[in-house]
Amino acid sequence: MILFRRVVIFTMNSVCFQRNFAAALSPLVPVKLPSRMEAHLWYVVPDEVKSSFLLSNYLDILSPCEKENVSRMRGEQLQKAALLARVLVRTTIARYQINGQVNPRSLKFKKNIHGKPELEWDDDQCQCASRLQFNISHTSSLILCGVTVDSPIGVDLEEKQRKLKNNILAFARRYFTPHEVKFLSSISDPVVQHQHFVKLWTLKESYVKALGRGFSGLPFRMFTIQFRTTENGDSCPSGETNNEGEIIVKSLEDVNSFSSNWQFALLELAGSHYAAICMEKDEAVEGEVPTPMKLTVRKTIPYVRDELISGPDAAVISGLT
Amino acid sequence: MASFTGTTARVSCALKQGQVPSSKISNVRSVSLPIGGRSFPSLKARRFQVFCAAKPETVNKVCQIVRKQLALPDDATVTGDSKFANLGADSLDTVEIVMGLEEEFGISVEEESAQSITTVQEAADMIEKLIGKK
């Protein structure tokens, strides 16, 4: 009860806010930066965040512009998801404590020419800080933030059960490449076909997001995603959730080139979602094997609880060899 | 006489020499219009659009398609100003909405345009522009 009263009294002074808020709840646990070719994934399950006390304090972390955007969402669930997405980004980045203690409220963001959100640092913080990259994605039931150092990253989430209003093959013929249509057409089981459609969609989204171009900056028909099994090198729609091998992207503008700069991972997250991660590869040093992608997955309710996730809640489907 | 007092104004009907735009002003990025031989000062911005606002029937049809795609409850308000993202549409929804519009209106939308449509009104205006070109 005393803790509650202290939080209610907080002023607009950000230091005071931090002290009081932190006093009422657990402080953000600081985390070391990811290493090269490592991505940290943080996710929130909106349904697990029920406390209106917590949500109203979360709202105070946002910038006025972000609060405005949240309020424009039509409906409580959409507002909550929008709020949690911004809270996840701000609190996650604050954990890395760039240049000392960072208050999540003080972070600034800008957009690149295609609209991809990026961090904006003051001149004196720039040196180390500008290396931190992030990307978020959310559905109504899960919010994901991926963080890397140096490497551009794109993440995309989709509910496994996400239904298309259109026929899958009609959709694919309209928006995907002929190779991908052929791949999907070859799958006779409609459930497996649907799963692979969703996987393809998330992988393609993660690629254009990693490039910072988004769907309108790079139409999906301009590049093909292929699953390459290690044995025969052909695409194989096995439909199993064990490791389906390597995921590669091929630009259709230059048919002979593989866009080999980019590495993908596909996960099944929290049992309910497919998550695709796309990162730029480490430059291979002559004669050395390039560093493989490493993922560290954490589930969080900021200021309440963090949990390192492995096993079935973050099951790798493809891409991490 | 139209006066542009801010950076947002959309001229929503075609202008002939000497004619004053009568429709509601909403949302222009930059405009420099000769009216009666005189140019308005051009506002600093990047894009420039002058076109007729879509017919209400078109706007209504778009609203219907959006409602269906996003499975909105009956009491949810959807109007010309409604932004897809604010209604909960993600990129897959937007693409499906565009595909629905293509089927409904018999048009073909470039991917580059598809994701630049952010509101019902923009979708309706684009549809009529594409129908006009056919």
What CA–CA distances, in Å, run from A212 to A109, A139, A280? 15, 20, 12
Residue A97: per-residue pLDDT: 85
- Mark yes or no for CB contact A215/B86 under 8 Å: no
Mean pLDDT, rounded, for B15-41: 43
Rounded CA separation A182/A190 (Å): 15
Structural domains in chain B plus CATH codes: 2-51 (no CATH), 56-133 (1.10.1200.10)
Residue A164 pLDDT = 93
B77 touches A at CB < 8 Å:
yes
pLDDT at residue B25 tops 70: no
Q: What is the pLDDT of residue A13?
A: 42
- Average confidence (pLDDT) over B25-35: 42
Nearest residue of chain B to residue A222 (CA atoms): B111
Which pairing describes strands A132-138 and A108-111: parallel, antiparallel, or unpaired?
Answer: unpaired
In this complex, do B96 and A164 lie within 8 Å of one another by their Cβ atoms?
yes
Within 13 Å and on the Cβ side, how many CA atoms surround A300?
Answer: 29
Neighbours of A81 (CB within 10 A): 21
Q: How far apart are CA B50 and CA A305, in angstroms?
A: 52
Reported ipTM: 0.80
Q: Which of A123, A204, A88, A194 is nearest to A156 (CA)?
A: A204
Helix axes B91-105, B56-70, angle to 10 degrees: 130
In this prediction, residue A10 carries a pLDDT of: 34
Q: What is the mean pLDDT of each run of 10 residues along chain A (321 residues)?
A: 34 45 73 91 97 94 96 94 97 88 87 85 64 93 95 95 94 95 96 97 95 82 85 45 71 66 93 95 68 90 94 79 48
- Nearest CB to A215: which of B69, B88, B111? B111
Whether the per-residue pLDDT at B3 is higher than 80: the answer is no
Q: Does residue B88 sit at the A interface (CB-CB below 8 Å)?
A: yes
What would the pLDDT profile of B72-112 be if each residue is shown by its tens digit?
988 889 999 999 999 999 989 999 999 999 999 999 998 77
Instruction: Count Cα atoms within 13 angstroms, Cβ side, for B117.
Output: 26
**pLDDT recorded at residue A255:** 57
Chain A residues with CB under 8 Å of a chain B CB are 72-75, 78, 139-140, 158, 162, 164-166, 171, 174-175, 201, 205, 214-216, 219-221
Per the model's pLDDT, the better-predicted residue between A191 and B6 turns out to be A191
CA distance A197 to chain B (A): 12
Report the distance separating Cα A140 and Cα A285, nearest Å.
42
Closest chain B residue by Cα to residue A72: B86
All domains of chain A in start order, with CATH: 14-282+290-314 (3.90.470.20)
**Tokens 């900056």, residue located:** A217
pLDDT at A302: 96
CB A195 within 8 Å of CB A239: yes
A88, A200, A107: which is closest to A146 by C-alpha? A88
